[in-house]
Amino acid sequence: MATIELHGVTKRYPDGTEAVRAIDLDVADGEFLILVGPSGCGKTTALRMIAGLESITDGELRIDGERVNERAPKDRDIAMVFQSYALYPHMSVRDNMGFALQLAKTPKAEVAARVEEAARVLDLTGHLDRKPGQLSGGQRQRVAMGRAIVRQPKAFLMDEPLSNLDAKLRVQMRAELARLQHRLGTTTVYVTHDQVEAMTLGDRVAVMRDGVIQQLDTPAALYERPANLFVAGFIGAPGMNVVEASVADGVLRLPFGDVALPGDGDVPAGDVVAGIRPEQFEAAALARGADPGHPRFRIVPDLVESVGSDLYAYFDLDGRQLVARLDVESRARVGEAVELVLDPSRIQLFNPADGRNLA
Ligand code: ATP
C-alpha cells in the first residue's frame, strides 16, 4: 500500500498547452481519492503523470515518500484501469487476468491462485474460460479490475472505468467498486467528470478546472461549503442556486426578503452572491414547523420534474433560473403559483468579484 504526493506538479505539452498547473495533492494510504472536473480540466493528464505514462514538466511526484518522477511505469508498482478496459479479445478471462503476472515470470501455481482469488472477489469464477466477447459490459469491466487486483499493486489508478456502461449498470458497478476498494484498502486515484460518481465513491474529492485544483475536501464539505462559485455550481445536481444579494447592518438582503447573516456573521457590508441549495426551499403549506421569521414568497414554476418522492420546481427570478426541491406532497404544477419558505441557515456567501466563498 502506498501514499502518493504531488508537489507543485505541472504538465506543459510540447505545443505549450499547460494541462496541469502546479498542483499539490496528498493521497493517504488506503484512501479513495477522486479527481473530478469538466472535460479538458487536466484530470487525465494528472493521472497519467502518476502512472508514468506522461512526463512531469515541473514539480515532484512521490510514492511512499520516494521521488519517482523519472521511474519507468512498470517500476512504480501501480495498476491502471482504463475506460476502454483494454482486454485481449483472443485470450480467456483467466489469461487476461494473469497475463501481467506471467510476463513478470510469477510461478504458474501462484498466478493460478491469484487469478482464482480475484475471480472469487469479483464474482467471475464461472466465466474464467470465456473470451471477453462472450461477456456483458459489466463483466468485462470486472475483468479489467481483476487484472489490476491480481498484481497486488501499491495503488490503483482508474480513468473513467464505468463510463462505457449503461446508466443502471454504472450505478450497480459504482457500489461494487466502493465495496471492493474498502475491502482491499488499496490506495486509489480515480478520474471522472461525473460529480455523482465523485461524491459517492470518494473519501476525498479534488475538483479541477483549467489545470488547477479548486478544492480538495470530503464530499460533505464540498457540498456544504464550496470554496468558490465554480465548485458550488459543479457539485450537486441540480446545482446550487446563486442570487445577487447585499450585506448591510448585519443583515443579508435577498431578493426573497431580509435574513440574519448566516455563519458567524463576519461579512463586510456590500454586494455579495448568495448560494442556496434547492432543498433550502420548502412548500410553505407543508412547512408547519418553519421559523415564522424565514422569508416566504410566491413562485410560478415553469418546469416541474418528478424524481420519486421529490419534485424539482424551476422558476424565474428577475431573469435567473432557480430551482427548489419540494416534497411531492406540495403538488407543485407548471403555471400554478406556490408559496415557498426559505431556510437561510446554510446559505453560502461569495465575493462577486472573484467568486470566492466569504466564510
Ligand atoms: P476529458 O474529461 O475530456 O478526458 P481531462 O480533464 O481528462 O478531459 P486532459 O485530457 O488531461 O483533460 O487534457 C487537459 C488539457 O490538455 C486539454 O486542454 C487537452 O486538450 C490538452 N492536451 C491533452 N493531451 C495533449 C497533448 N498530447 N498535447 C497537447 N495538449 C494536450
Residue 102 CB burial class (10 angstroms; 0-12, 13-18, ≥19): exposed
User: In which residue ranges of the chain is CATH 3.40.50.300 found?
Assistant: 4-234
Regarding the beta carbon of 17 and ligand 1, being less than 6 Å apart is answered: yes
**What is the predicted pLDDT for the residue at 82?**
81
Cβ 83 vs Cβ 163: under 8 Å? yes
Per-residue pLDDT tens over the stretch 210-226: 999 999 999 999 999 99
CB atoms under 10 Å from CB of 260, counted, come to 11
Mean pLDDT of 220-239: 95
Kindly give the distance from the C-alpha atom of residue 219 to the centroid of ligand 1, in angstroms, as a whole number.
25
Q: Quick one: DSSP state of residue 357? A: B
Is residue 266 classed as helix, strand or coil in its secondary structure? coil
Give the residue, by CA position, lying nearest to ligand 1 atom 25: 13
pLDDT (tens digit per residue) in 38-59: 999 999 999 999 999 999 999 9
**φ/ψ of residue 168, rounded to 5:** -70, -45
Complex ipTM more than 0.90, yes or no:
yes
> Is the per-residue pLDDT at 84 higher than 80?
no
Cβ–ligand 1 contact at 15 (below 6 Å): yes
Q: Report cis status (omega within 30 of 0) of the bond before 238.
A: yes
Residue 268's CB: how many other CB atoms inside 10 A? 7
Candidate of 9, 10, 15, 17 to mutate for ligand 1, largest count of ligand atoms within 8 Å of Cβ? 17
Q: Where are the alpha helices (DSSP H) in 52-136?
A: 93-103, 108-121
Of the residues 10, 15, 23, 43, which should be mutated to test ligand 1's pocket, given the most ligand atoms within 8 Å of the CB?
43
Q: Is 161 in the pocket of ligand 1 (CB under 6 A)?
A: no
Residue 85 has pLDDT above 80, yes or no: no
In CATH, the architecture of 241-350 is Beta Barrel (2.40)
Q: Is residue 154 a contact partner of residue 29, using CB atoms and an 8 Å limit? A: no
Residues of the chain with CATH 2.40.50.100: 241-350
pLDDT computed for residue 167 by the predictor: 84
Grid cell 490506495 in the structure block, residue: 187
pTM for the model stands at 0.91
Q: What is the CATH number of domain 4-234?
A: 3.40.50.300
Pocket test for ligand 1, best of 45, 54, 190, 214 (most atoms within 8 A of CB): 45
Distance separating alpha carbons of residues 58 and 10, to the nearest angstrom: 5
